[in-house]
Amino acid sequence: MKKVITYGTFDLLHWGHINILKRAKDLGDYLIVAISSDEFNDIKGKKSFHSYENRKFILEAIKYVDEVIPENTWEQKVIDVKENEIDTFVMGDDWEGKFDFLKEHCNVVYLPRTEGISTTQIKTELAAAK
C-alpha cells in the first residue's frame, strides 16, 4: 500500500482544497492529512475560523482522506514520514523546494494550486463585504 501525506490548515474549505486532496490521493492508496493544531496556528500567528476539532471533523468526511493527524511543529514532518511509512509527501507548488529535505525519506511532489480560489481570497472578500 502506497501512503501519501499532505499538510495544511484547511480552514474555510473550498474546491481548491478538495482538488489538492483528490490529486494527492491519486498518488497512492492511503492519504493522511496533517492539519495545523490551534496551538501551532498561534505560534505561526494565524487564526483559523474553524477550530482544529471542527476542521478535523470536516476533513474526515471527505472521501479522499483516510486519516487526519495534528501538525504541532514545523519539525515534525520527518518524524511523521518515518512513523507512518510515507511513500509520497505532497504540498502546493507555492512551497516548491521548501521540503526537498524529505527526499531522503520519500518522494516529494509539489502540485499546482487551483487557480481562482484561496482561503486568503475568501477572507479578503468577506472582509470587504462588511
Active site residues: 44, 46
Residue 73 phi, psi dihedral angles, 5° rounding: -150, 160
Would you give the DSSP letter of residue 94? Answer: G
Count other Cβ atoms within 10 Å, centred on residue 110.
17
Collect all residues with Cβ–Cβ distance below 8 Å to 63 and sequence separation of at least 6. Answer: none
Contacts 24+ apart (CB under 8 A), 115-119: 117/14, 117/15, 117/16, 118/14, 118/16, 119/9, 119/11, 119/12, 119/14
C-alpha cell at 22: 483528490
